[in-house]
Structure 1
Amino acid sequence: MCAPQCCRADVARHSGDILPNGSSQARLLDRRAARGDDAAPIIPILARKVREVEAKAARGKVGPTNRTRFQVIALLVREERARVKSDTNLSTAARTELLKRLDGVATILARTAARDTSLLTLLDPATTPGPAAQRMRLDWLLDSGAQLSPEEMEIKAPQISRPTVVPAALADRQVVPPSVKRRLKATPFLAPAIQAPERPLTGRLSGWDLMEPLYRSFEQGAGGGAATMDLPPLPRFEHFSPRGRELMPHQVELLEAVRRGHRTFLLADEPGLGKTAQSILAASVAGAFPLLAVVPNVVKINWAREVEQWTPSRKVTVIHGDGDTMDAFADVFVVNYEILDRHLSWLMRFGFRSMVVDEAHFIKNLSSQRSQHVLALAEQIRQTSPGGNPLLMALTGTPLINDVEDFHAIWKFLGWVEDNQPAPALMRKLEAIGLTPADRGFYPEARAAVISMGIVRRLKSEVAQDLPARRIADLPVELDDDLGRSIRQAERELGARLAQRYHRLWETRHGGEAEPFEPDLDIMRSVATAELESSRNASGGGENVFTMVRRIGQAKATLATDYTAQLARSVGKVVFFAKHIDVMDTAERHLAEAGLKTVSIRGEQTSSARQKAIDAFANDPEVAVAVCSLTAAGVGINLHSASNVVLAELSWTAAEQGQAIDRVHRIGQEQPVTAWRILAAHTIDTKIAELIDAKQGLAARALDGDDTEIVSTTSVQLDALVHLMREALTR
């Protein structure tokens, strides 16, 4: 550690751009000379810093700044141990004591790395520290009173690495879907025009580690005010939405910003304000196709549906498994996080011009494979997109989960930071402030500078006049596990059984007559009625519509709970409705594992126990979710302290569904209410939802004077069976 000494005048001459407070190293050394009785003054500094990192790790969060601290501590422990061992002026006893103290620091490092194994790579002596780590090391050495040569005070620029190659560990897992090969043959890709990287700026902030001040500017609020960039005024005519659909004013504002050239957004609107639609239309406005959307599995199908609704002229493809069924000639590619690793190779060279990361808080852990894949793809798109200015959007109603440093991965995805320092575009904005973190006025201005890069956050309460007072939003989910496949197979078998009964009844009624091309509705209803009676009496055996719907509810339970947890962290209290006890049990268990406090409202409760749960949900800010029985809690209670409802299982009647939602949407409710209906795609679940909606038309026509078409007056169960039978007969 101790380098050849130089005179204090030389040190002072070289320290002007290094010491952030502007004082000369000579004065620092004069003050610290009095502490020269310690043979290793750096060790107390390392001991204090390592305990700070350990405390952070104990709370489950080691963010970018503390990772840098961890690396610098490990680096200085190695340097100091080598110096102590080679110092001939030290007595044996003194050397032993110093090495013992260094071993104590090293032990805490090892204990911390055991909590977060991603830190182990930072212990590798071959790991090259970046500029932020070099600056931190230099500051600590100066603080210990070390005398450094001009060469040692130089911060070495890092070599730029481009993550264009799939990691060797994933090479064997890569797949190239057949349609991608066909597109490659049809339209061979041109070599990408790689943009030359911008040189780091030099100025008054070039010697500062700016990430901590930027985090602090958000943590402290920096004078208040919404974290939303200045958006342009609404255009005179709204020309972004397709025919037959209409955007809300807050959505138009963002699209107008895209039209004027803004290309990176952290869109943090509350759930229910149309983030998906905004991002899809943003790609259209920017002419940024093909678009890659990386999304959670639970919203993958919903994404495809939104693309079809908002950009009907664009083709969307959803990537499942190895991508055998995808269409590589599409404009929008939707892939879920879980399968991203096996598609990296072709995604990196496909030539995307835009990328959207939905539920972007999923990438907050920089050491996770999920985050590394997303960030590598984003970097590749930045390098190969024409003009080096692709459309990049991070969508999340919960950008911060545990710590303000959760911002870091999202900022990195958007290209706002590089190597734990602001990227050139953000650095120019910070330099324009004319202040440093030593100036009090720096923090609100720095926060505003980051926000101007593209942070947009709107609340329901702010745009309530643009929303319906109550709405139901369907969220289709893919049941792609063994249980989901068995459910679809059971549906096909039930449909085939009903079709056989239909054929037998037709033969009985019509003798040898040929069956018409269109099945006879009366016969289908007779068969369905008999099946329902058999199912209710539990004498039919095998799969029936009731057991099937129950299995679908069980299969959806975890996905519905995951979405509930996301809502609770984003918008506050949520009411979760289910029909069956086992689904409620699953929800409570998973929510507890996610660290969310719940209350339960069930049929077997006493009146006092139920009221206690209702009061806790209303008055205890720690209670995040009320897990409710659709039948037991659907009437007679008030849960209007929440404005979001999750319907994990469907009711058989529109009235029962409406009553459940009305536990929240009632007098005293001050927020627009959204009911999120979780539907199992490609199953009878979606048909049941459609039938429930059709039944609502009867009440609308009879009671409200509405002209909604009445599709059927029979039961949902009977119509669902008729649907399965028709599919089997026309297959």
Structure 2
Amino acid sequence: LVDHRMSGILADDMGLGKTVQSLSLLAFLADSRDQQGPHLVVAPLSTLQNWVDEIIQWVPSFRYLVYRGSERNLSAAEKAIMSPDQNTNINLVLTTYETVASRFTFLGHYPWYCVVVDEGHRIKNFQARSSQAVRRLPCQHRLLLTGTPIQNSLRELWSLLSFVAPGAFNSLENFEQWFALPPPPSVRLGAQEAEEAEMSQLLSEEEELLIIQRLHKVLRPFLLRRTKEQVLTDLPPKTEAVIWVPLSSWQKVLYRKGLRTIQRVAGPAKSSSGGVSANAMSGMALRKAVNHPYHYLSKKAASGRPVEELIRASGKLEFLDRLVKLGHKILIFAQMRTSLDFLQRLLEHQGLNFSRIDGSTPSTKRAEAISNFRRDASITVMLLTTKAGGLGLNLQAADTVILFDSDWNPQSDLQACDRAHRIGQTRPVLAVRLMTPTAMDRGLLERSTRKLQMEKKIIRAGHFSDSSAEMSKSLLMQLVKEARQTSKAGSGQRASSLAEMNRLMARSDEETDTFTQLDRGLLGEANDAGTTEEPESGSSSNKSCMYHVPVVYPNRGR
């Protein structure tokens, strides 16, 4: 591509070393072409330290600086970049998407040789300010790095191609016509019918083959993608499992209340697309209920309640209470910081050392947390929010990844799991997704599966909303149906039994024995305390549940 003065997309699987490959290219340009730069790397804030670490390890002769921070730091960096002194010339400048947008007056008028865009799917929204700023950076070559070139639609792929080859891909309309893609169903149908049409609209095998052939022909000059199966034949396997954890009594009360609210709001007269938007908050309330009832309490009230109740009030925490005792290095991802607060109390109660990264963690503390987790064997758990910790981090020290709750975008969850399953991993990795037997979680999982199937086939475009705050029409209807059919949260999908959980989680006979002993001890406590839990629908016993120790919760009668 460099020889032909072209740009491209490096779309290797997550964990195959795209950062190192990019630095290798820049080192080759310096050594073989006497092209010293300056080059610009645009990356998410969470990955900047990883770039610094890789530069120090692989190209220590490169002079680099990080361009972000206070006005004073930025001004000093600009003077260093503009310095005419050949002995202090900067080879590589590292910055963030946000800084490109806010300091475009400088960055947009400097003659960069190569612009490397890390986690390039961040520019998929063509209208976003940071995306437009990155596209306008002057340079001779562009290299876009992404392990997920398609997340929701083929239109996103066009957005990336228009960055590396703006002359060839300057029109989305022409791109869609070339692939003979149908317009989004919402354009052709009423909003009420749109999503049902999306689910049933499948191309024939001949049409599918034709579009894939066209797509490959377009991508071949611009995109290089290799999978772990192709490249890392000696990489230990990654096992993925879905654990269906039961709801506690408190969670069931809150979930049923949420279903009744949705049933009221989403009646027949309010079944338009506006009804879906009106229920966005109800959907979030259901997600909070299936994660932990403490989401409904103030921070002060939640912190004042006993930790034993904290654990037993949530099926997910009760499950993790067993898992963290085994001593594996574990990454736990959650969507909300408050969920991490609950998990942190659990770990403190267990006396376990842990690290934590969320959206409020300063960059210096992020680097410290990552370093501590990698090097300190006594730190067995790292807590992360999916948005803050799911991109670009190398955490091969972990051999277990827990998705406490799932993202609406399944690629975000895959990114999170591959923080551990990547080059340098020497042990098999277990990735566990915690779900509850509710229409809310079932619908989310089905929706994610459809998106991943679309990405694999690359034959349909624009058929999925990219908004994490909205419930799809079909999911809303599932919830209304669940509310009408039963007063029991979780019907239609039973919780995993203790035996099933143990089989999925145990790595050895010794761990199986450990789980069995924990089960016997805690079930004994439950029997001593007396159980108030009801068996799941269709079950003659409560073997599907974990430990039915009653908890005290407020406002049950409301």
TM range (shorter): 0.3 to 0.5
Higher relative contact order (CA 8 A, sep 6+): 2
TM-score by length of 2: 0.38
